[in-house]
Amino acid sequence: MKAYHLLIHGDVQGVGYRSWIVREAEKLHIVGWVKNCEEDIVEAVVQGEEEQVKQIVERCKKGPEVAWVENVEVTEKPIDKDLFVFEVIY
């Protein structure tokens, strides 16, 4: 199991990025959360089997077709045993 904290920079708000990452996480059986942060930043925590987590991190670097991702900051974090789904936090 691996867990990462992501800060996704770019034109990533108002383009469906959060909904997109929820769908991608569900396909990969990843748990965690995503939320809009300050302007032009989406924050997420992704957790699951190492290969699937690596896949979601790579997908986040591209994002949905209408987004423009400038940079993704990735920091490893401890496993959170209280995460069971992937959700949008408002």
Q: Would you say the C-alpha torsion 10, 15, 18, 22 has a positive or negative sign?
A: negative
Is 71 among the residues known to form the active site?
Answer: no
Q: Are strands 2-11 and 68-76 parallel, antiparallel or unpaired?
A: antiparallel
Among residues 18, 23, 59, 71, the one annotated as catalytic is 18
- Helix, strand, coil percentages (3-state) for the chain, rounded to 5, are 25, 40, 35
Determine which one of 23, 36, 59, 71 is catalytic. 36
Which are the catalytic amino acids? 18, 36
